[in-house]
Structure 1
Amino acid sequence: MSTRRYRSAIACQTCRVRKVRCSVSMTGVPCISCEQDQTECILKPRQGKRHSSHSHRQSTTVFPAPRHYVESSAAMRDTANQSNANPSSPDSSPGGEIVPLQDSQAPLDTPETKVSAASSEPSAADEEQLGVEMVEVALGHPRRECQVPYYIGEQTGGPTSTMHICTTDHLIPKHLLMPAAKPTTLTEDEKTFLRRKGVYSFLSDTASDSLIRAYFHNVHPIMPILEADKLLEYHRSKRLKEYNLILLWGLYTISSNYVPAEIYENEGFTSRKAFKAEMFARAVCVYNNGGEKNNLILLQGALLLGFWNSDIEDHMQPWQWSGRAINLCHVLGLHRDIDAIGYNPSITERQRSLFRRLWWTCFWRDRWLSVSLGRPLRINLDESDTPDPLVSDIAVDLEGIPESVTSAFFPRDLPRLAEYWIQLIQMTKLLGKTLMTCYQLRRPKPTINQIDTLEAELMRFNMPEHPDPILSRLATFYYYHLQLHYQAILITFYRPCSVEAPSDLPSYRQREWQQEMQGKAMSAASKTCNIVYALAQGNFFSFAGPMTPTLLVPAMQVYLLNCKFGDALSRRLGLNMLNMCMMILEELQKTYSVASVCRGIFGKAIQQLFPDDAASISLTHSLPEQDVTPVAELMPPPTSIPDTALQLELFGANVTKADFIDALTAEASIFSFVDMLNFSS
């Protein structure tokens, strides 16, 4: 057949003698056959090889530049220029190469074959060997060291179901550790492409130190997806260049929200958003083009990158990254209990802890993204039996870290923050129940018993109204942030109940019951504003994260509805609450574009609903009119107001008042209209 003419251009001496397919062009030295036979793998150059332009073209890079990173923005062009001059770049160091991390990242060293893994296909023997190793591992007789988690799936009749037929004396666990795949080797062209994109232009030690500390203080307590001791060991030993580059640039992306301005200014960036955009660009470039095969690394990277969006065109990026992370969870079997059929000795307690943290972080993102973007739930808990996360899961990889390092990089209230994370996951479960009960497209109308049962579960999460006075400022912020999540869930629950009565509620009770639900939604909105006021008075918004702006939205919508349908006094009170929230968003928009969009949406709504009262709201930067003057503010105005055009671009001049207000206050889309840009940036 014609395909036989396209044999690999390189084979080891042993495979040439045996006249068998050699995997050296894919795996590097040694090839699979030599490794299995424990023989020396020797390469012998082929004779008479022509160095024609055609052969040169065949060895060039197969990875095109991603469309996302065509250098169209001035910020990225400027950053690329400064990256080339950065003294910490590999190009400026002796040798110009990076020593690879053996177990988790694609090596950067070029093998003597200098052949990309993508330039040849695996042989049938290589593919068969994968199946052989699956059965050997399942039966407990692996021939190679096993490192990579593998999930064989359910017994639905697929190929992996055959493993259960191979033994009758014991049950085969569904979670196995497989031998690691041969790492992808990058050609010089591929490395040059990554270098041009800034992937190898590392930040200064001072910037790295600040960003890693910001991660452990502001991100890890609510999204504990990285192994802390490994990251800190690379940082302490000055080997961050050897740490997985997907995780490194992803960490820098999300941590850039919290570092002081001098950190990114010293790296040559004029704004926080430009710095964050460049960190994201480098992370995604190496994610797509770095040849990473470890699904755990890809899962962690997708979660880190899932908080990014910068403009209207990118507003679905978080949804896409979240979907990728959830798919990888299912591939790895993180949705299933590792010990479902008995204790699985092949998985360590440390791995169990990491798997739980990754799965429940994906679950948390799935539920809140579904609410904010108006998209269907991706995770079905009826198909999952992964145990709930534990407080100890966050501390499991801190053992062995010196006390001096722990105190330097971790908040002193980490045990309390771990408890808050557990509470947030439990709250998120109830958010999922609320969405399935009150919002799913094809659902029966809930009964009064279902509503009462769900409300009782929500009430059991009633937290103390005031934080413990001994808490640090960071822990106090996280207490308030947890309260904001809780009040948002309550509003999500009560809003549809105020317009749709249960199926078995007598008609004569419906109006009274709906008014009661409206009152409870208003109470939750009032508590939200009290929390926001406390955060502003205590100057806590420096700790605010990407999800903070959208947690204000449910309460703002309740007050907007109250202004529309209430009496004159209710309208004035509602406008005052909206004004306070608008000023908070004005402060947050210096870091997060979604805050700017929310200001634009609510500013336009207030202008449409109450043109005579618009002057009493702080709308100077949200509306095009030049004669609107703000009232005295709770906080000093920001020095610069970004994203003004972005706030106004969402709405055209031809939108009618009725259509606009109906869309904004539609009960079936509590968050989706306002939160169309999601949690981030």
Structure 2
Amino acid sequence: MTDSNEANLHVQSEPPKSPSASQSAGARTRTACKHCNARRVKCDVMQQKPCWQCRTRNVPCELISSKRGKYVRGPNPKGKTDSASSRTGNVTKTQYTARSTDNHTVTTTTTTTNEKETLGQVDGPEMLFARMTEPELLAQNANAVPDQARMLFFGEALPMGFIINTICSLDGRLPIVRLHHPVPAKVPEFPISHLNQDDIERLRAVGALDLPEKEIRDELIRNFFQYIYPGFPVLDRIGFAEQYQKGQSSLLLLQTLFFLATTVCDESLLARAGLPDRLHARQTFYKRAKALYDADYEQDQVTLTSVLFLLSFWWAYPEDQKDSWFWLGAAISLAQSLGLHRTTAQSNLSSKRTSLWRRIWWSIYTRDRHIASSLGRPSRIRDEDCDVLMLTEEDFRDQHPSSVQAELVGTQEPYHVSYFIELVRLAFLLGRVLSIGYTPGRAWDDEASKLLAADFQQWQCALPLDMFQKPFKEPTEPGFWACMLHLSYHNALILFCRPRTIESVTRQDSEGEITVRSSADAVARLSEDLLSSATLRYAQLHIIPTLFGALSIHSLVILCRQPISSQLAENRARLCMLALSELSKLWPAAGWILRVFDKVLRRLTGHDRCFECSPPSGKPYGSRPQSSGPIARLSDHSTLRSGEGTSDVASNGLDSLMSPTLHSLRGSTGATESQTVGSPLGIMPEDCWAQELNFEAFENIFQDSLTGEFAPYGDWAGLACHQPASDSTHP
């Protein structure tokens, strides 16, 4: 994965320097006025009189008489050293090495005994709150805050915020409450203790300090910004490119980007990096990022918030403690501690910084709603706690890199902006669905549901033109991102209109039932578009819960035992399962869901083999079609022939997705012929279902699908790609 060249990994002894810390060690103030000496604060009376402290407090500034007397002192005797040096001695810097291919420098901080003496010349962290109440700092806060300044968030209920905004304000009152406050420069950013040699050795043991070759590293970064970043723009694209080109990027951020990039990159790139398969590559970079996080490597809290958010795309096995829920919770906690959920109207932050904060927050908000609906857990973010402004196109205007930078981090297209803004608005509606229909102890509110239904319709009518559904062949086209948006839309509708009982499914005149069936059918059609265009690999992660919801509706329709509707639902369910089979190669959770519905369809139809995960040709589903014609759609009245659509569907027509029941009705003569889609189906026998089923029959089906011994992480993809021989060996 790396070559034999090694680049220095510097472990710096110096903490980040503040203006006061940049002075020489011998510049310690030897004289203080009586007022400053009594208050035990620093005094600059030797530079100006009266000193700053006395001048701001309007008190007399009087010097203290020396207790040692006034006489001419000679130099130190030869051979004598400064008291600090004689007590501690000089500690030299230590250099470690990390395997890499360029001069990308990884910087960590340790503090030696000799340097702690130097740090005594500046304020320690215990003086942070005290410094923030000084009039000089309050006056400076009225000006624009530099982008490099560290910020603290003080909510209204915190007494510290009350003190700053009222008691210590310049005129005794501050009618406009400020929530974000810059940290004084006199309080440098350095931890009490940071990475020591033991920490470094542990990181080296897991490869956390290793980087791929530069060519591979650049390609992974390109994959991330091209396929993943548009869905959740949580980084400063230009700032990242500048730091990366200078070799100053955060190592934790890089390992996290590599973890996500290996999900969508070509397998040939993984082979060049020395990684055996995609799941092993994801695990490798995830472990490295996690080790750096556990070692408290990253000190930039905004960068750390983005990293924690990106780590929420990890979920190794069903009972994994550090799963998506865990990492997203950590991201939410840190984001709220920074005040990203609150308005920055009075914080004097630059528009660039404000826009980045908004993009990060709304990414976290959207993912919170997606995970809450997918896992059936409560939303962590409450709308009443947030007053941050909704995203606009202005929040993306600073994301246009130069031509050189664009080769690495790509460019931002207008449809990327439209997609993310509309996805956030849709997430807000999804949160209302959870509140209305899935709050414990809350009865269904018909009036609120009608208003929400109208808002869904209004959202759809207000979509920008580039988010209308249209054919696509590449993941870099507007149609692909419109497909991702509409998948999320139909998932929200399925959750909103999902029937509560089996009897309600049979009411054909119910508007809600028509909506939920139409959305489930639309998910199958959109999945087909992704399969036929070979772009399913680049789909956003919310496609998995969307397929889960659609399959649940198709299963209910099959359960209703209406021959034609049930057969169509079965075929659409197989199409969704085909998509899950491909996604299981990227995301383990897709394989778990696939096994669930394999068992569901077995019980519903009585077939021994309900779905073949591996195509007969040995080629992966969704391989790039050779034909340059229009995208084939199974729901259209068209004919699929060899060389069009997916590899298996193209060669065998609809037979590759057709149920065994319909195969038996058609006979063996049509098995190798192309199937004209939309032609009338045969009459289904009255006794084609194996057994009577109700909701009780599904009580333990999800747990049954997850029983058995779990293989190591690298083998879990096989759970979805190998059909169990019998129910006795695979319960």
Q: What SS is found at the alignment partner of 1:615?
A: coil
| Contact 2:472/2:480 (8 A) holds in 1 | no
Deviation of the 1:344 alpha carbon: 3.5
Q: Map of 1:216-365 to 2, 5 A cutoff?
A: 216-235=225-244, 237=245, 239-240=246-247, 242-314=248-320, 317-339=323-345, 343-345=346-348, 347-365=349-367
- TM-score scaled by length of structure 1: 0.71
Q: 1:470 to 1:369 in 2, by over 3 A?
A: closer
Secondary structure, in 3 states, of the residue corresponding to 1:355? helix
User: Which of 531, 535, 540 is 1:536 aligned to?
Assistant: 531
Q: Partners of 1:298 and 1:268 in 2: how far apart?
A: 28
How far apart are residue 598 of structure 1 and its match?
1.2
When residues 312 and 594 of structure 1 are mapped into structure 2, their CA distance, relative to the original with a 3 A threshold, is same
Map of 2:380 onto structure 1: 378
| Residue identity matched to 1:44 | A
Aligned equivalents of 1:534, 1:290: Cα separation in 2: 44
Distance in 2 separating the partners of 1:90 and 1:35: 45
* 1:343-367 deviation digits (Å, cap 9, x = unpaired): 432x111111011111111100110
Once the 2 structures are TM-superposed, how far is the Cα of residue 550 of structure 1 from its aligned partner?
Answer: 2.3
Would the aligned equivalents of 1:309 and 1:315 in 2 still touch at CA under 8 Å? no
Whole-angstrom CA distance in 2 between matches of 1:278 and 1:116: 37
Deviation string for 1:660-679 (max 9, x for gaps)?
5146699xxxxxxxxxx9xx
The answer as to 2:189 corresponding to 1:182 is yes
C-alpha deviation, 1:408, in angstroms: 5.8
Q: Distance in 1 between matches of 2:500 and 2:114?
A: 65
Output the CA distance in 1 between the equivalents of 2:563 and 2:321. 37
Question: 2:483 corresponds to which letter in structure 1?
Answer: Y
**2:133 corresponds to 1:135:** yes
Question: Aligned equivalents of 2:474 and 2:591: distance in 1?
Answer: 31
Q: What residue in structure 2 maps to residue 193 of structure 1?
A: 202
Residue segments in structure 2 that go unaligned for 5+ positions in a row: 1-24, 32-40, 48-81, 90-95, 616-640, 650-692, 704-712, 718-731
1:204 is aligned to: 213
Whichever residue aligns with residue 376 of structure 2, its letter is G
**Secondary structure of 1:44's aligned partner:** helix
Q: How does 1:449-460 map to 2 (within 5 A)?
A: 449-460=447-458
Residues in 2 aligned to 1:471 and 1:329: alpha-carbon distance in whole angstroms = 34
2 CA distance for matches of 1:602 and 1:43? 75
| Partner amino acid, structure 2, of 1:575 | E
> Structure 1 residue aligned with 2:369, among 348, 367, 370?
367
The separation in 1 between residues aligned to 2:697 and 2:306, in whole angstroms, is 39
1:176 partner SS: strand
Change (3 A) 1:351 1:496: farther
* One-letter identity of the residue aligned with 1:162: I
How far did residue 472 of structure 1 move?
Answer: 7.0
Deviations along 1:185-235, one digit per CA (max 9) or x if unpaired, are: 422222222222212211111111111111111111111011111221233
Aligned residues of 1:427 and 1:486 also touching (Cα < 8 A)? yes
Kindly state the Cα deviation for residue 548 of structure 1 after the two structures are TM-superposed: 2.4
- Partner of 1:461, secondary structure, is helix
Is this contact kept in 1: 2:132–2:184, CA < 8 A?
no
Task: State how 1:140-155 maps to structure 2 within 5 Å.
Answer: 140-141=139-140, 147-154=149-156
Name the residue aligned to 1:434.
433
Q: Is the 8 A contact 1:473 1:540 kept in 2?
A: no
Change (3 A) 1:600 1:35: farther
Relative distance call for 1:403 and 1:13 in structure 2 (3 A) is closer
Distance 2:88 2:475 in 1: 72
Residues 91 and 406 from structure 1, CA distance in 2 versus in 1: closer, same or farther, beyond 3 angstroms?
closer
> Residues 498 and 178 from structure 1, CA distance in 2 versus in 1: closer, same or farther, beyond 3 angstroms?
farther
Q: Match for 1:196: what amino acid? A: A
Query: In the alignment, which residue of structure 1 is the partner of 2:223?
Result: 214
Distance, in Å, in 2 between the alignment partners of 1:468 and 1:609 is 34
Who is 1:642 aligned against?
none
User: One-letter code of the match for 2:543?
Assistant: T
Cα 1:183–1:494 change in 2 (3 A) is same
C-alpha contact 1:549 1:585 (8 A) present in aligned 2: yes
1:227/1:34 CA distance change after superposition, 3 Å: farther
Q: Is the 8 Å Cα contact of residues 28 and 121 (structure 2) preserved in structure 1? A: no
- Superposed counterparts of 1:35-46, under 5 Å: 44-45=84-85
Identify if the C-alpha distance between structure 1 residues 232 and 482 changes in structure 2 by more than 3 Å, giving closer, same or farther: same
Give per-residue Cα distances to partners, 1:520-555, cap 9 Å, x unaligned: 110111111111112222222132233322221111
Query: For 1:266 and 1:43, how far apart are their aligned partners in 2?
Result: 57
Query: Could you tell which deviates more after superposition, 179-188 or 527-536?
Result: 179-188
8 Å contact from structure 2 (residues 520, 550) kept in 1? yes
Structure-2 residue corresponding to 1:422: 421
Q: Shift in Å at residue 249 of structure 1?
A: 0.9
Residue 288 of structure 1 and its aligned partner are, at CA, apart by: 1.4
Would you say the 8 A contact 1:98–1:109 is kept in 2?
no
Larger mean CA deviation between 369-378 and 211-220 belongs to 211-220
State the 1:108 CA deviation.
2.4
Contact 2:227 2:475 in 1 (8 A): no
- Judged with a 3 Å threshold, the aligned counterparts in structure 2 of structure 1 residues 292 and 428 are, in CA distance, closer, same or farther, namely same
Instruction: State the SS of the aligned residue for 2:149.
Output: strand
Partner amino acid for 2:356?
Answer: L
Q: Distance between the aligned counterparts of 1:220 and 1:311, measured in 2?
A: 25
For the pair 1:406 / 2:402, whether they are aligned, the reply is no
How far, CA to CA, are the matches of 2:116 and 2:612 in structure 1? 57
Match of 1:484 in 2: 487
Alpha-carbon distance in structure 1 between the residues aligned to 2:605 and 2:99: 60
**Secondary structure at the counterpart of residue 90 of structure 1:** strand
Q: Secondary structure at the match of 1:552?
A: helix
Amino acid at match of 2:378: P
Give the CA deviation at 1:405.
Answer: 3.2
CA contact 1:256–1:275 (8 Å) conserved in 2: yes
TM-score by structure 2 length?
0.67
Q: What's the CA shift for 1:406?
A: 2.3
CA shift, 1:441, in A, is 0.7
Amino acid at match of 2:159: G
In structure 2, do the counterparts of structure 1 residues 620 and 162 end up closer, same or farther at CA, with 3 Å as the change threshold? same
Report the Cα distance in structure 1 between the residues aligned to 2:599 and 2:517, rounded to whole angstroms: 22
Q: Distance in 2 between matches of 1:589 and 1:490?
A: 25
Of structures 1 and 2, the larger Rg is shown by 2
Worse-superposed segment, 435-444 or 179-188: 179-188
Partner in structure 2 of residue 661 of structure 1: 698
Query: 2:152, 2:183 within 8 Å by CA — same for their partners in 1?
Result: yes
**1-side partners of 2:506 and 2:276: how far apart?**
56
User: 1:312 Cα deviation (Å)?
Assistant: 2.6
Shift of 1:182: 2.4
Indicate how the Cα distance of structure 1 residues 148 and 620 shifts in structure 2: closer, same or farther if over 3 A, else same.
same
Q: 1:91 to 1:489 in 2, by over 3 A?
A: closer
Query: Relative to structure 2, which stretch is displaced further, 191-200 or 245-254?
Result: 191-200
Q: Decide whether aligned partners of structure 1 residues 572 and 614 sit closer, same or farther in structure 2, where only a CA change above 3 A counts.
A: farther
What amino acid is aligned across from residue 561 of structure 1 in structure 2?
L
- The 1:421–1:499 alpha-carbon spacing in structure 2 relative to 1, beyond 3 Å, is farther
- Counterpart residue number, 1:560: 555
Q: Partners in 1 of 2:208 and 2:45 — Cα distance?
A: 35
Match of 2:98 among 90, 93, 98: 90
2:609 maps to which residue? 615
The 1:578/1:34 distance shift into structure 2, 3 A limit, reads farther
Give the whole-Å Cα distance in 1 for the aligned partners of 2:503 and 2:132. Answer: 53
